[in-house]
Amino acid sequence: MGFRSSFAAFLGKSARWAGETFMHRSAGNLPGVIAMKAAPAVLADLSGAADNIAVITGTNGKTTTTNLAADCLASSGRPLYCNRDGNNLESGVVTAYLVKPERAAEGASSDAPVSCFECDEMYTRYVVPRVKPRFFLLLNLFRDQLDRVGEIEHVQGAIAAALEGSPDTVFLYNGDDPLCAAIAARVPNRSLAFGIACDMGLDADRISDSRFCQQCGAALEYDYVHYGQLGAYRCPSCGWGRPELSFAAENVRMLDGSLAFDIDGHTVQTGQTGVYMVYNTLAVYALSKASEIVSFEGFQQAVEAYRPTNGRLQTFRLGGRSVMTNLAKNPTGFNQNIRIVLNEGGRVLALFVNDEEADGCDVSWFWDIDFERWSQIEGLKAFVGGSRANDMQVRLKYAGIPSTIVENAADVLAATDESDGKVYVIANYTALPPLRRELEALEKASADGCARKEGE
């Protein structure tokens, strides 16, 4: 690494130290921003510090999948660089390199660090050509924040440009998504597809982001649809269709509130509910096996031990009450949360939606969410919050769901009781972190109260 990049890294590390020392905060992007100002090529230089296994992107599931993949890679015992907190711009990846790598268990075959990074779809064109990972993992593509990133064709172009800038990177993608498969068809990179090779008997979503052939524009035919546009598709006009799956999940089934599937003679259990967790776990399996540094035992142990801590499918215990939080920032994400609530028989729902810059200001997508599925829940209690609470309340009204505007999760808990069952808190990007912090404080207070009673 040259003098300029070394000096830039020093400035970034100093900024991070200052933030932790004087502001008691670990900045996820600012150190990277400072380093990049001092040396625009700093990311390419820093990337030489590790065997860069993967850059992971997609509309939904990036953070969860990246954390699970990082846990699997850590099972190899090698030091690990990862932006686990979801700082997924180029500056966030730079910052991750400025921090000492996570030190895994002893007994690794090599002390050479590995890396695994989450990346925003539109920033892959900058990160992938500079990091040059062995694998570029694409989870899915859905319409999301149209006022920020535009239509899906724009996102596809950015991802294709990223791959073209790193020709030796293997493209690992969701073959069940025709929007992902279309990218594989247009780039020269070696490609491997993963997918679900069985019909789970799910009802198709009312809204799909694309069920048209990406080659000729004809309407696709499906043997089955899992959700959105994901499933077993083919074009009756030109013959284009779902590619051969290099990693295929079979016999997907529900087991005690979680999902399981079979692959390569093994049974994998997700530990979390939601069909998209099958895709996330399957993607990590594909990456783990293709990397050749993660054993199945290491993968299985990481999956079994994985417990979300970033608000995504995270459960909080408040005495006799249980609260689950999850992120939803587009129609497909909300529709999958709707399925989770229906599958688990939930009756208390709290939706928090903001319209800050990171969320996108256009909330017309509320009308593409299938809230009508919730309207038949007996004894349903619905709450809305955030800067666009009124808009969400109107949308629920037209779905036949009366709701109450609240300020925070404590208001929801105060308006319900233990007999109402589990509380489901669903929030978009900027609304989720404060809710998570609030629930963490409430959980700690509840645990401390229980401990005092036991000590009396």
Contacts of 144 (CB under 8 A, 6+ apart): 59, 60, 329, 330, 360
> Residue 383: what are its φ and ψ, rounded to 5°?
-135, 150
- Report yes or no: 112 and 78 within 8 Å, Cβ to Cβ: yes
* Rounded CA separation 367/345 (Å): 24
Residue 213 counted as an annotated binding residue: yes
Among this protein's residues, is 223 annotated catalytic?
no
* Cα R_g (the chain), whole angstroms: 22
Contacts of 309 (CB under 8 A, 6+ apart): none
* Rounded CA separation 7/108 (Å): 32
Q: With residue 115 as reference, give the H or E element that holds it.
A: strand 114-118
Helix, strand, coil abundance in the chain, percent, nearest 5:
40, 20, 40
DSSP result, 11-76: HHHHHHHHHHHHS----SSHHHHHHHHH-TTHHHHHGGGSEEEEEEE-SSSHHHHHHHHHHHHHTT
Residue 361 counted as an annotated binding residue: no
Residue 216 counted as an annotated binding residue: yes
- Of the candidates 362, 391, 417, 448, the residue annotated as catalytic is 362
Measure the CA angle with vertex 434, ends 431 and 440; round to 5°: 135
> Residue 12: what are its φ and ψ, rounded to 5°?
-65, -45
What is residue 274's DSSP assignment?
S
* Rounded CA separation 278/431 (Å): 26
Residue 116 counted as an annotated binding residue: no
What is residue 89's DSSP assignment?
S
- Report yes or no: 214 and 185 within 8 Å, Cβ to Cβ: yes
DSSP result, 71-87: HHHHTTT--EEE-TT--
Copy the structure tokens of residue 230. 């994901």
Which residues belong to the active site?
A: 362
Q: Residue ranges for the binding site for Zn(2+)?
A: 213, 216, 235, 238
